[in-house]
Amino acid sequence: MTTEKTDIQIADALRAVAERESVTDVFFVACGGSYAHMMPNQYIVEREAEQINGIVLNAAEFKARAPKRLGKSAIVILCSHSGTTPETVEAAEIARKAGALTISLTHVLGSPLDVASEYTVSYTHEPRTMSSLHSAAVLTRLTFGILHAREGNKKVDDLNRALDAIPAIAESVVKERASKIAEFAEAHKREAVIYTMASGANFGTAYSYAICILQEMQWVHSAAIHAGEYFHGPFEVTDFDVPFIQLIGVGPSRGVDERALAFAEKYSKRMTVLDAKDLGVSKLPESVQEYVAHLIFQPVLRAYAVSLADAKGHPLTVRRYMWKLEY
């Protein structure tokens, strides 16, 4: 993967977006961790788009739901790391048949998803770091690129400045936190349940940590709790010994996060809090801080996962079912 290659792929896709007669909807469609990456992009569309509507759906749900608005005025963004996720490949085929513009992200050019899609962008995979070539970052480039091409949204320049600064920020945060991360791992190595919590553009990161890291890679029970939902049910499970990993964002949903944190900290002695403000987000252009904070959370959280896996003696690569069985 080279910068130049990804840049050309994105530019090609965005040219097709600009040439489209009309664009009323952007569907973000994927499964699991890739689906989680889509969520902040739907958030961006809802916050920023004047006319375009953003929808985020699991690929199997997308196929079943068969949204009536899917057609020539839709763009469908898809993502599958291997490019072989059957639901996502099928979603691309359905979308293309319906006349939508399909743009896929995958690590593997030549994969079924690449073949099924009109445009493909390939990305770098290295979860311990972040760059403008990582899938989550590529998605924000595509989203702001679409908003620029269709509605003249100007934030794409600030986004690019932020993406230039993020790799070094993430690297230094992971280094500075090394001892905190090791403490977390020791303190949580025998937990049967660890919740995650976030809101706004960071909810997807909390969700992927719950389902891909804790449930899938560590066999720890988990659920991603939306901080705005916390007081309407989930907070009743809070107790001194119930662990939460909470992400505190910036921007308008910070207050939602802070309210949940104030309560959770009072009744749980097991809060692990990652605050975007402590993670260097304020060094980035203000207009996009809320949209890119998750790009710093991701590699930092990965360091927590690597350390937890070490402490548990349960490597992140171990699976009992995934890729081993038919399902």
Report d(CA 152, CA 145) in Å as an integer. Answer: 9
For position 256 contacting its own copies by CB under 8 A, the verdict is yes
Taking CB under 8 A as the rule, does residue 35 contact its own copies?
A: yes
d(C-alpha 142, C-alpha 5), whole Å: 15
Q: Which member of 14, 25, 177, 309 binds its own copies (CB under 8 A)? A: 25
Question: What is the distance between the alpha carbons of residues 171 and 296, in angstroms, rounded to a whole number?
Answer: 9
Residue recorded with tokens 């489209």: 20
Contact 103, 117 (CB under 8 A): yes
Taken as a whole, the chain contains a residue count of 327
| Binding flag, residue 160, its own copies (CB under 8 A) | no
Work out whether 168 is an interface residue with its own copies (CB under 8 A).
no
d(CA 286, CA 283): 8
Q: Is residue 252 a contact residue for its own copies (CB under 8 A)?
A: yes
| CB 197 to its own copies: min, Å | 12
If we measure between CA atoms, which residue out of 121, 51, 50 comes closest to residue 81?
121
Query: Residue 167 or 243: which CB sits closer to its own copies?
Result: 243
Among residues 202, 299, 312, the alpha carbon closest in space to that of 246 is found at 202
Binder to its own copies among 117, 253, 289, 307 (CB under 8 A)? 253
320 near its own copies (CB under 8 A): yes
Q: Which of residues 258-287 bind its own copies (CB under 8 A)?
A: 259, 263, 267
19 binds its own copies (CB under 8 A): no
Helix and strand numbers (H, E) in the chain are 12, 9
- Helix 135-151 to helix 156-176 angle (10° resolution) is 160
Of residues 46 through 65, those in contact with its own copies by CB under 8 A are 46-51, 53, 55, 58-61, 63-65
Least Å distance between CB 81 and its own copies? 11
Say whether 219 sits in a helix, a strand or coil.
coil
Residue 131 CA to its chain's centroid (Å)? 14
CB-nearer residue toward its own copies: 105 or 133: 105
User: Count of CB atoms within 10 A of residue 75's CB?
Assistant: 25
When binding is defined by CB under 8 A, the residue of 98, 223, 271, 316 that contacts its own copies is: 223
The answer to whether residue 37 forms part of the interface with its own copies (CB under 8 A) is: no
- Which residues are near its own copies by CB under 8 A? 25, 31-33, 35, 43, 46-51, 53, 55, 58-61, 63-69, 85, 87, 192-193, 199-200, 208, 210-212, 215-217, 219-224, 226-229, 231-238, 251-253, 255-256, 259, 263, 267, 319-322, 327
